[in-house]
Each structure stands twice: as C-alpha cells, then as structure tokens.
Amino acid sequence: MSKGSMLRQLANFISYITLQVAVAQSIVPSHHALCFVYVGFLLLLPWQRISLILQLLLAFVIGLVIDAFYNSLGIHAFATVLMVYIRTFLLKLMLPTSSYEPDTRPTLSSLGFRRFSIYALILLLIHHTTVFYLDAWGSALSLLTIRKVILSTLLTYFAVCITQVLPALLVSHR
C-alpha cells in the first residue's frame, strides 16, 4: 500500500469516527434505531490490497474506540471483527478477482447500486444483529430488537451511501 493510500485511509478513519461520535449518535432516538456510520470505513476498505489479519486488527481497534464512546464493553469490537471476517468471503463470492484492481474499494461507483446494496446490506445486517443481540443478552429477545436491527441496518445503509455520494456532489457544484 502506498504512502498516499495509507494517508487517505487514515483521513477516512478519522472522518468516519468523528462522524459517528459527533453526529450519528444523535440522529435518531436510540430506542428506535441507531446509525453506525463508522462501519462504512470497514465496508469501503480496498478489498485485495490489505491482508485479512490487518483488516481484522483494524476492525478490532475501531470497535474498541466505538465501545469506549458507547460504553458497550467489547460488543462493537466483536461485531466489527465478525463483519470484516465475513466481508472477505462475501467479496470473494460476489466479485471475480480478475476484473478488479487490487486497490479497488467496494463502493457504489465501483460495484454498481445492486451489487453494492447486496454487499452492504448483508454485512450491515450481520453487524447490527450481533450488536443488538449481544446488547440484549440478558433480556428476552423480542420483536422490538428485530425491529431495531432492521431500522438501524437501513439507516446505516443510507448513511454509508450518502457519505459516498455527498462528496461527489459537493465537488461537482464548485
């Protein structure tokens, strides 16, 4: 990975964490849904250039940072590591390796709307299901938790899509 690419990833990391902590925590009341926009950073990592171990380590660190802000005792760390682990296999299933460059990021523009939506919604559903069911471990699992998983998955999906589309719109209007 080149130095410029690493700096860009660091800037993305800081942006997503800041967006999560400063904005996403207060978008919707937490009893209805939560927006975990920070997972967008992990969804959009280059899919062949970074080793699986580094991706898992990155997911763990990001999860711990979010756990610190949400006081959730490792739930986000576990959910992000699980999501990134499954991400590798999902990308291998969905994308032929010969038709993409190693630095290709699985974005709306590179995958197209349909493929990106399938990719992102599967991984977001895995992440959110893990977070909410681990959080509700001691209580009865109910339809309210299922509703919260679905609403949060959709809210996060739209937030991740907006974070990809908005910068392109801002640049084109200058």
Check residue 161 and give its pLDDT.
92
Check residue 97 and give its pLDDT.
61
pLDDT per residue as tens digits for the range 77-88? 999 999 999 998
Contact yes or no for 39/161 (Cβ under 8 A): no
Stated pTM of the model: 0.85
* Cα 33 to the center of its chain, rounded Å: 16
Residue type present at position 92: K
pLDDT per residue as tens digits for the range 67-124? 998 888 899 999 999 999 999 889 888 876 656 666 678 888 888 899 999 999 999 9
